[in-house]
Chain A
């Protein structure tokens, strides 16, 4: 118990230290942080917990990377997972592209999948990664979307499928045109 607390303390200390070295003191960085926090608030309401953040604000806003965990959602098919990640990416980029005052500070305008990394981890009620057929992790990084199952043998994510973001976006747009929207399955109850 004490060891666990101490481990946590060291981890938080290291996190604090890493943050002190990457703080940007300019107003455009502060505004970008506000936009990210707004998005976090929306996701928290939907049952996602922000897990980590890193941003590359090296003179211009180049890249934002966020990770979330959730125990309240699960995706077992590629179309639903794809629909989810594309909606998240588009919702994340939208305020950056709508905020006119930020445009000149964005390394790339329009801000797009190239500039955003999102990572979602799906856990059961006991904080273990969800098992097949559900995806345990869905990432969109550097324009590539990757879906992972959890491998119980190696205790690591196992690649399920990967596609370019623009391909995922095309499929998303097609399904939107067809008025298709995924239905979320309820979270499985804890078996005691």
Chain B
């Protein structure tokens, strides 16, 4: 009786799992999990992320949402050991996000994933929108200690806004020191460049 029940349990699990997978056509599990088009997009973002990391002496961490904003679809996260003050961080982050959006709007993998999203939600834009972009750079030194004041400890881009954090020396928690809308950051970048 017990053996029969265990077999039934096993078969039930397999059936339920496979029916779930059929529901989500071409579902892929692994480092990135989801529909094939979504996973392909994440690998394309990762490739881009690795190039960016090499160019700026950073460590690429992951292509996937690491923000607390529910609207984020395309997101990259990096670790850096650099010591960067706010002013330098503002320009650096604005440049990075601007380039990332450009990449998103030209990538065939992103277009394929957006097409998939449009099947479920026809109002979803064909081209990647800044509202759906996330970007995070966390600053940790070689001994995995948060970079301390007066330098930045984290730069976060979500909800069309840049957030700049420093480390609270007492608690080692992040404290927000400055935030700037994407449009304002672009003006600032252009003004500084010219």
Using a CB–CB cutoff of 8 Å, the interface residues on chain A facing chain B are 2, 5-6, 9-10, 12-14, 16-17, 20-21, 23, 25-26, 58-60, 100-101, 103-105, 107-110
A176 to B67, CA, bound (A): 37
The 8 A-B pairs with the shortest beta carbon distances in the complex, nearest first, are A59-B64, A100-B144, A9-B9, A13-B12, A13-B13, A16-B13, A60-B66, A59-B66
The residue of chain B having its C-beta at the shortest distance from the C-beta of A99 within the complex is: B144
A17→B66 contact, CB < 8 A: no
A104→B144 contact, CB < 8 A: yes
How many whole Å from A109's CB to the nearest CB in chain B? 7
Q: Is the interface of B mostly helix, strand, loop or mixed?
A: mixed
Using a CB–CB cutoff of 8 Å, the interface residues on chain B facing chain A are 1-2, 5-6, 8-9, 12-13, 16-17, 20, 29-31, 33, 61-62, 64-66, 68, 75, 77, 79, 138, 140, 143-144, 146, 171-173
A9 to B3, CA, bound (A): 11
B29→A17 contact, CB < 8 A: no
The residue of chain B having its C-beta at the shortest distance from the C-beta of A22 within the complex is: B33
B1→A26 contact, CB < 8 A: no
Residues in B whose Cβ lies below 8 Å from that of A16: 13
Residues in A whose Cβ lies below 8 Å from that of B61: 104-105
Residues in A whose Cβ lies below 8 Å from that of B1: 2, 5
A103→B171 contact, CB < 8 A: no
Q: Find B62's partner among A20, A59, A100, A108 (CB 8 Å cutoff).
A: A59
The residue of chain B having its C-beta at the shortest distance from the C-beta of A60 within the complex is: B66
A80 to B116, CA, bound (A): 54
Query: Known: A2-B1, A109-B172. Is A17-B31 also a contact (CB below 8 A)?
Result: no
